[in-house]
A and B are shown apart, each in its own frame.
Chain A
Amino acid sequence: MASTIRRPRSADIECEPLWEKVIAENFFGDVEMFRVTAEAFLENTAEYLGGIGGAISKGSVAELIFAAHKLKGALQNFGPSTALNVVSEIEVAARRGQMLRAQRFDGEFTNIFNAFVTQLSAAKEAFEQ
């Protein structure tokens, strides 16, 4: 249900994730490791979103499970909880064959994902300096 999702508030989007913590925990404290991984992620954002959107337009449950699961795995490296919650909901809906429900989450997810991409991009640039 949509009510089970922690809705993004502007405060969430501004303050999460805490990059130093993410780098320490998920990138072994290595800024360069974070930077190259973020770069690879950012280069593939269209593919990540397109995978989910394409599967929903085709009505393909199998493709949607695959695309949502993949994106969830990629996002887990960076730990944005709001985006992870929503993409998890899409995956769960797909696994239950609830394509309409997944479609409803997709619109919301695109905005959250794009906000996260902006944050990640800024963080990557900040750590390059």
Chain B
Amino acid sequence: MKVLIADDDPACRKLLTSALKKMGHEVQVCVDGREALYALTSPFAPRIAIVDWMMPEYSGLDVCRKVREHVSPIECFIMIVTQKDMAEDIVLGLKSGANDFLTKPFYQAELEARVSNGCKLIEAHQQLKVFAGLLPICAWCKMIRNDRGEWEKLEQFIEDNSHARFTHGGCPTCTEAALSAYKLGIENIKK
């Protein structure tokens, strides 16, 4: 997943960039709060952001507040980097719209776990969005057009895009109709 790093310190940027690339993420780097705000509110914004608390132009808190005016916490996972570990600072950060916190120096397991949590939240939200938009369905056969433009069975589409799995049974109406058709068929054979 693409991760935005916003930090005015070149050494911290290098460290985070190397660490995230090592974890397999694509990285977009910003050198101050204004640049980060612009990147996070653009149409192709990264969905995970690691933003330093203290930056020129806009602080990490300012970036969070302003991003949240446009983008919800489930659409963009923002982590604020701080050297502060006081409870009130964490509360202040969370109130400004941050999803999570990272403290310096960074520890591999912690960084991986927190970024991974962010990825899971974003992926879950993207999955939900599949069912939130308009889905083209054939009015007759009920086949559905997927995002590759192919027509597939409704049940296959749902299985592909969710954790739901289908078992096959019969509703009373269809069971009765099927039995009637079966009986009619038998009677016709007898005749």
Option from A30, A32, A43, A79 in Cβ contact (under 8 Å) with B105? A79
Give the docked Cα–Cα distance between A29 and B10 (Å).
Answer: 20
Q: Is the CB of A73 within 8 A of B14?
A: no
Q: Chain A interface residue count: which class?
A: 20 to 34
B106 part of interface (Cβ distance < 8 Å): yes
Give the docked Cα–Cα distance between A69 and B8 (Å).
Answer: 12
Give the docked Cα–Cα distance between A36 and B22 (Å).
Answer: 14
Given A26-B106, A28-B108, A73 and B83 contact (CB-CB distance below 8 Å): yes
B94 part of interface (Cβ distance < 8 Å): no
Q: How many A-B residue pairs have CB under 8 A?
A: 62
Task: Tell me which residues from 16 to 67 in chain B have a Cβ below 8 Å from any Cβ of chain A.
Answer: 18-19, 22, 52, 54, 56
A18 part of interface (Cβ distance < 8 Å): no
Contact with A along B87-114 (1 / 0, CB 8 A): 0000000000000000011111000000
Given A66-B54, A70-B54, A73-B83, A33 and B105 contact (CB-CB distance below 8 Å): no
Give the docked Cα–Cα distance between A25 and B8 (Å).
Answer: 23
Q: Is the CB of A73 within 8 A of B22?
A: no
Contact residues in B for A69 (Cβ distance below 8 Å): 54, 83
Count chain B CB atoms within 10 A of each CB in A27, A28, A29 and give the residue with the most. Answer: A28
Option from B11, B56, B108 in Cβ contact (under 8 Å) with A77? B11
Given A28-B108, A79-B105, A74 and B22 contact (CB-CB distance below 8 Å): no
Extra pairs beyond A37-B14, A74-B12 (4, CB < 8 Å): A26-B107, A28-B108, A41-B11, A70-B8
List residues of chain B with CB under 8 Å of any chain A CB.
8-15, 18-19, 22, 52, 54, 56, 83, 104-108
